[in-house]
Structures are given as C-alpha cells and as structure tokens.
C-alpha cells in the first residue's frame, strides 16, 4: 500500500536509554572471549542497554516525551494525539497510552492508543499520527516508540541474548501547510509470524492458569513449556531470507514513490536489526556507506525504537542544520514492513539521554 502525508512536519526527536550497560565483549558469560569478539564484530553490538524492573518501555518513552516537549517549548495542553508503539505494554488493559496521556498532562480531548508493532512500528506510528492530524482539529502529536525486549530473552539463548537492548523514544509532529509531502509504503505478510515469536502471554497461550486449576499448573513439564513459550524465539535463517527478499524492493519502491533515487537521499536509516544484515541491504541498493546509518554498537537491536534512536545518536547536529532528506524503513516481526522518505530538520538538535536516576515509575 502507498500513501502520502501532506501538511505535517516532524518537529523533533529524542531518545532515552537505561544507564545500565552490558557487554558480552567485556563479560562473555556463556561465550568464550574469542566467540564474544567475533559475535560483536558480526552483529555490530559491543554493548547493549538493559532496563531493570520495575521500569518498563513506557517509562523510557515518557521521559523522552517530557524532555522533547520541554526542548520544543510545547505546552502539553496543545498535544491532542498520542500514539504509543510498543510490543511491551504495561498491562493487558487499559492501554498504556491512556496512562501516559494523564501522566504527561495532555488534554482529555486527546486521542491516545497503543499500537503493538515492533520492527516496523516507527514508520507505522508516524503514518498513523500524521493521518490523524490531517483528518481532525488536532495540531500536534507525539509518537512514542519503545520496547524492552531483554525481558523476553532466555538467559541461555546464545542467538538472541547478545543482540537485543532496551530503549524508548519520542517524536513530535505538527500541522504545517508548508511541509513537504512524505511518501509512505506499507506491507504485511503474516506467514512470517512464527519466525519472530513470543508464543505465550496472550489469550491463545495464557501465562496464568485457567479458572478451576486452583491457581497452579500440576504438570511440571507443562509449566516448563509455558516458561519456554514466554521467551522470544527467533529463526535467524528465515529472518535473513525475508529481509533480503522483501527490503530491497521496499526501499526502491519508497524512492520511486518519492520521485527520487539513491543519489537523491541524504541519509538511509533502517531498523537496526544487526550490522551484518544492514551491510547486505546497503550493497543490494548500492547506497554509499557514508550515507547509510549503521549505529547500534552501543545499544543493540531496540526494536521499534531503533530508527529514532539511530537518528538521535548519529544525526543530531546534521538535523539541527537541516533539511536532510531521509529514507526511514522498518521491517521484521509480523512479517511487517514500512518505509517513508521525509525531509527532517532544521529542528532542535535531537539527543540521546540516560533515564535519570530515581525517575518515577509510570504505574497505577
């Protein structure tokens, strides 16, 4: 599917990460020292940020939103759209976005809801929020993207544990008749659902025993299976195959939809899946290395937050000077994918900051 966002500009970005760091290079754990070094060189992750309980992805996003509104000089009362993109909601219900609306002091006239997408979620979130602005009386929106995938990882899974990190982000959008159009391309193929999967936790495979079992699971093997099903499983071969099959055409279609080509894009910022995969994609579309962002060395794969985090960390000064024609593309879990070409900046310099010590937990 193709779409065009008209009359909306991206006014600012901010990312927040946990101060807690872990590096398999420095602390190999289940790996030998040589294995850890080789792995880091391949996936492009030297260290990752790990969010400790009781904090959740929403806390990172909330801190990002507060800091961004302060940087932009936005009165929270002027923000009437809040989209929280995350696979890690605080509760089964209510929607985490409702609690965030109250905590941020947004007006009760605001639309606030969750979008449970992962790797493609940033592009989806921007598209949804922009279309809401374009079809309503609202003038400003916040798209909050964040995940804490480290909670899903099995402590002995050599395939996923070194790769994933936690992060949150906030992106501000506002109505601006002079803003250049933003072309968008979106797609989905649910056949890929089993390949990046947390089986248990929803109603299909519930983590709590059904009524009538006296609150316990008698069969120890069933309990052990439920524990395994609550962890992330990732079929690396299938993910890689999907990415090389689907993403280069996505990027070309997005550029064609925008009426440009590789030479017309100032920066390519893709979902930071892993460095090995990103380098393959760069070569497939023949993008110059100096315009293709690979920036996950200090953070890991942060799912829905990876694109805004990479932009904030690697393009801050460039966006402050702006404008920068940027191709952003997310792809993965679902399978789900999306890309857009947007002129970013000039804007207040995007920043990456640590979650402050003692930051209050977003809870009810």
Question: CA dihedral in degrees (312, 317, 322, 324; nearest 10)?
Answer: -50
DSSP letter assigned to residue 187: E
DSSP letter assigned to residue 335: T
Report pLDDT for 210.
Answer: 55
Using pLDDT thresholds of 50, 70 and 90, give the confidence band for residue 321: very high
Containing structural domain, residue 166:
2-185+269-354
Q: Which residue from 363, 272, 257 is spatially nearest to 309, judged by alpha carbons?
A: 272
Q: Evaluate whether residue 74 is within a structural domain.
A: yes
What are 143-158's pLDDT values in tens digits? 999 999 999 998 888 8
Q: Is the peptide bond before 87 cis (omega within 30 degrees of 0)?
A: no
Q: Evaluate whether residue 64 is within a structural domain.
A: yes
Angle subtended at Cα 228 by Cα 31 and Cα 297, rounded to the nearest 5 degrees: 40
Q: Evaluate whether residue 219 is within a structural domain.
A: no
Report pLDDT for 212.
Answer: 52
Residues 6+ apart with CB under 8 A from 173: 8, 9, 10, 11, 81, 126, 129, 130, 133, 140, 141, 142, 143
Q: Which residue has the higher pLDDT, 219 or 80?
A: 80
Rounded mean pLDDT, 69-92: 97
Determine the distance from the C-alpha atom of residue 105 to the mean position of all C-alpha atoms in its chain, rounded to a whole number.
Answer: 24
Question: Read out DSSP for 140-180?
Answer: EEEEEEEE-GGGG--TT-TTTTTTB--EEEEEEEEE-TTSP
Q: Evaluate whether residue 294 is within a structural domain.
A: yes
Report pLDDT for 217.
Answer: 55
Q: What is the mean pLDDT of the chain?
A: 94
Rounded mean pLDDT, 229-233: 88
- The number of domains in the chain is 1
Q: What is the CATH number of the domain that holds 330?
A: 3.40.47.10
Report pLDDT for 229.
Answer: 84
pLDDT over 70, % of the chain: 96
Q: For residue 194, what are the CA distances in angstroms to 114, 168, 233, 234? A: 22, 26, 8, 8
Indicate the pTM of the whole model.
0.95
Distance between CA 295 and CA 83 in Å, rounded? 25
- Residue 54: how many other CB atoms lie within 10 Å: 9
Helix residue ranges, H only, the chain = 33-43, 57-72, 96-104, 121-134, 220-229, 236-257, 275-285, 306-314, 316-321
Using pLDDT thresholds of 50, 70 and 90, give the confidence band for residue 363: confident
Q: Are 330 and 122 within 8 A, CB to CB?
A: yes
Angle subtended at Cα 317 by Cα 75 and Cα 309, rounded to the nearest 5 degrees: 70
Q: Are 114 and 95 within 8 A, CB to CB?
A: yes
Report pLDDT for 204.
Answer: 86
User: In sequence order, what are the beta bridge partners of 188?
Assistant: 336
pLDDT tops 90 at residue 139: yes
Residue length of the chain: 364
What are 241-273's pLDDT values in tens digits? 999 999 999 999 999 999 999 999 999 999 999
Q: Evaluate whether residue 330 is within a structural domain.
A: yes
Using pLDDT thresholds of 50, 70 and 90, give the confidence band for residue 207: low
Q: Evaluate whether residue 194 is within a structural domain.
A: no
Report pLDDT for 230.
Answer: 85
Rounded mean pLDDT, 23-37: 91
Q: Which residue has the higher pLDDT, 208 or 311?
A: 311
Q: Evaluate whether residue 120 is within a structural domain.
A: yes
Q: Which residue from 84, 59, 88, 56 is spatially nearest to 141, judged by alpha carbons?
A: 84
Using pLDDT thresholds of 50, 70 and 90, give the confidence band for residue 103: very high
Report pLDDT for 216.
Answer: 56
What are 323-347's pLDDT values in tens digits? 999 999 999 999 999 999 999 999 9
pLDDT tops 80 at residue 134: yes
Using pLDDT thresholds of 50, 70 and 90, give the confidence band for residue 220: confident
């Amino acid at each position: 599917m193709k779409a065009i966002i008209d009359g909306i500009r991206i006014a600012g970005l901010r990312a927040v990460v946990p101060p807690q760091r872990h590096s398999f290079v420095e602390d190999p754990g289940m790996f030998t020292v040589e294995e850890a070094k080789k792995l880091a060189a391949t996936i492009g992750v030297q260290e990752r940020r790990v969010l400790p309980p009781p904090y959740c992805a929403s806390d990172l996003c909330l801190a990002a939103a507060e800091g961004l509104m302060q940087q932009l000089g936005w009165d929270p009362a002027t923000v009437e759209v809040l989209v929280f993109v995350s696979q890690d909601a605080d509760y089964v219900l209510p929607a985490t976005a409702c609690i965030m609306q109250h905590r941020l002091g947004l007006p009760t006239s605001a639309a606030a809801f969750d979008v449970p997408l992962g790797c493609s979620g940033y592009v989806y979130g921007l598209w949804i929020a922009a279309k809401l602005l374009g079809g309503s009386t609202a003038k400003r929106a916040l798209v909050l993207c964040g995940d804490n995938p480290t909670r899903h990882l099995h402590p002995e899974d050599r395939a996923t544990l070194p790769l994933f990190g936690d992060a949150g982000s906030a992106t501000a959008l506002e109505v601006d008749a002079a803003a250049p159009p933003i072309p968008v391309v979106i797609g989905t193929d649910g056949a890929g659902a089993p390949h990046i999967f947390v089986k248990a936790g929803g109603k299909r495979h519930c983590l709590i025993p059904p009524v009538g079992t006296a609150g316990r699971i008698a069969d120890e093997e069933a309990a052990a299976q439920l524990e395994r099903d609550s962890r992330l499983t990732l079929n690396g071969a299938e993910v890689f195959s999907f990415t090389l099959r689907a993403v280069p055409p996505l990027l070309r279609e997005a550029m064609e939809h925008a009426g440009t080509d590789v030479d017309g894009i100032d920066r390519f910022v893709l979902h930071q899946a892993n460095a090995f995969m990103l380098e393959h994609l760069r070569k497939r579309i023949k993008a110059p290395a100096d315009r293709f962002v690979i920036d996950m060395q200090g953070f890991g794969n942060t799912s829905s937050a990876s694109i805004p985090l990479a932009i904030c960390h690697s393009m801050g000064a460039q966006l402050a000077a702006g404008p920068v024609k940027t191709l952003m593309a997310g792809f993965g879990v679902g399978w789900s994918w999306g890309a857009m070409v947007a002129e970013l900046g000039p804007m207040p310099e995007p920043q990456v900051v640590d979650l402050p010590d003692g930051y209050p937990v977003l809870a009810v």
